[in-house]
Amino acid sequence: MGENTFIEPNFQIELSILFLGETTCGKSSLIRAFLGESFMFKLSPSAGVDTRHRIIKLAEDSLVVKMKFLDAGCRTTFETVVNSYYREADCYVIVFDLQKRDTFEKVQNWLDSIVDKGGDMSRKLFVIIGNKMDLKSRVPLSEIEKFCDDSAQKPLMFLTSCKSGENVEDAFHDIAEECIRRGLGRDANNVRKSTLDIRSEPDPNQKVTLNSSSGGCGC
C-alpha cells in the first residue's frame, strides 16, 4: 500500500443518522463535539448535506458501530436535496435551541416534513435533542417530555451542551444502542466503506480510535 492509503477500522454495523432543525440550533456543533473537535462560536451554515462519521464500540454488546452523520444545514437544504438521504437514514435527530422557544415549537413541523415524505416510518428511530443546556433554558423539561409522550413518533429525548460537551457522548451512545436494539443499520459487508468527511481528506498519519473524547462545539 502507498504511504497515503487510509485504512478505516473494521466495523460490524453502519447507522445513518440525519440531523435536522432550525439554523443555529447547533446541529453541526453537536457532531463536532462527538468527534472531539474544538468549540467554535461561529460556524457557516452547511451548504448541502455534510457527511461525517465516527466508529464506536458499544459497551452493552461489544458491537463495533460506524455512525454516519448526515447534516442537513437548513430547511431549504432539507426540501431540495435531502430526499435520498431521508430514505437512507435509520434515525432522524431534530435539534432545537433550549434558549429559543420558537425552535422547539417548530420541532413538530420537522416531524411532519419527514412523515409527509412517505415510506415506512415504523422501523425508524426519532430523536429530539434540546441543545445548549449550559445556558438558561426557556423551554421547561416537563413540556419537552409531554411533547415526546404525546407524539405519534414517540421520539427519544436528550438535553446536551455542544459547548461544554455535557451529555453529548452518552446521548450518541444511547442513540446507537437503541438503533441496534430495533434492528436498524446495515451489515458492514453490504456497505461501501468510504464515508469520509466531504470537506477534507483524512490525515494518513492520524490514528483512528474507537473512543475519541468528546470536545467542544460551535453553535
CATH number of the CATH domain containing 26: 3.40.50.300
The reply to whether 48 falls in a domain is yes
What does pTM read for this prediction?
Answer: 0.79
What is the average per-residue pLDDT within 105-133?
Answer: 89
**For the chain, how big is the Rg over CA atoms in Å?**
17
Give the model confidence (pLDDT) of 6-57 as tens digits. 456 689 999 999 999 998 888 989 999 999 987 555 555 555 678 899 999 9
Flag whether 3 is in a domain: no
- C-alpha cell read off for 74: 437548513
Residue 213 lies in a domain: no
* Residue 210: pLDDT band with limits 50, 70, 90: very low
Residue 143 maps to a domain: yes
pLDDT band for position 185 (50/70/90)? very high
Whether the predicted pLDDT of 67 surpasses 90 = yes
pLDDT at 136 over 70: yes
Quick one: what percent of the chain has pLDDT higher than 70? 73
Domain membership of residue 22 (yes or no) is yes
Q: Domain range spanning residue 167?
A: 13-190
Residue 117 lies in a domain: yes
Q: How many domains does the chain have?
A: 1
Closest by CA to 20, choosing from 148, 149, 109, 136, is 109
Domain presence at residue 198: no
Domain annotation covers residue 45: yes
